Amino acid sequence: MSVPFKIVIPARHSSSRLPGKPLLDIAGKPMVLRVLDRAVQAGADEVWVATDHSGIAEVVEAAGGKVILTAADHPSGTDRLAEVATQLGWADDTLVVNVQGDEPLIPPQLIADAAAALAADPAAAIATACHPLESVDEFFNPNVVKVVMGADGRALYFSRAPIPWARDAFAADRSTLPAGLPAFRHIGLYAYRAGFLKRYSTLAPSPLEQWEALEQLRAMAHGFPIQVMVLDHAPPAGVDTADDLERVRRVFDLT
């Protein structure tokens, strides 16, 4: 059964690797509009693009999308969403899915599933996703964030370190992942309750968050549960680099 939810697409113009990324062309449309197309298909009752750039706002408005201008100096994407929830006066129990502005291939059903996962766990503040890791190189790669979950599906910890650590198996061989190891890669898709978003900026940063450079650890350090849905496989990757952009362009050229 579908649940009511909102979508916010943060779209910042500045990017160290791809300046002006939301406005880069993908098969005749700026990237931000490609993401907006996917988000609209997810069935949310409202979809907003949150940006600090007038050019992005103009492009979205010209396409008939909803735009909200936010401050340029937010320390995290979560803080930007909190400003949106506050500006629009959303009730604390409103479900808000954050769809990154560089995910033009995100499956619309995945967005809806994130909202449903949060709705199904009334005590959770956040829902996110993961998928099984099969590559030992990714398991040991600090740029790949891992997550371990409890029996209730909630996150126990997120880390750039290889967790869980198979003590005996890795003592003998680290060239492959041992069979049955519950190794999962975290996917940076989040659904939030608006009440949590409004509280987030008041929470003191956690030492774990700072050491790992993972902002979701702030929520966990302050006792906010995170529900994690497990996908069968990884969704299509987003756009971080020029090579990523060309890969995505090829996908659209073939459709």
Contact at 8 Å (CB) between 173 and 117? no
Phi first, then psi, for residue 158 (nearest 5°) are -115, 140
Residues in contact with 105: Cβ distance below 8 Å, sequence separation at least 6, in sequence order: 38, 235, 236, 237, 238, 248, 251
Surface-to-core class of residue 188, CB atoms within 10 Å of its CB (0-12 exposed, 13-18 middle, 19+ buried)? middle
Report the C-alpha gap between 176 and 139 in whole angstroms. 10
Looking at 67-81, 123-137, 225-239, which range is the least confident one?
A: 67-81
**Rounded average pLDDT over 161-170:** 97
Quick: pLDDT tens for 120-161.
999 999 999 999 999 999 999 999 999 999 999 999 999 999
Query: What pLDDT does residue 209 have?
Result: 93
What number of helices (H) and strands (E) belong to the chain?
A: 10, 11
**Rounded average pLDDT over 219-246:** 92
Looking at 20-29, 88-97, 131-140, which range is the least confident one?
A: 20-29
Per-residue three-class SS string for 133-155: CCCHHHHCCCCCCEEEECCCCEE
Q: What is the pTM of this model?
A: 0.91
**Rounded average pLDDT over 205-218:** 94
| Mutual angle of helices 31-40 and 54-62, in 10-degree steps | 50
Tell which residue, 6, 159, 179, has the closest CA to residue 95: 6
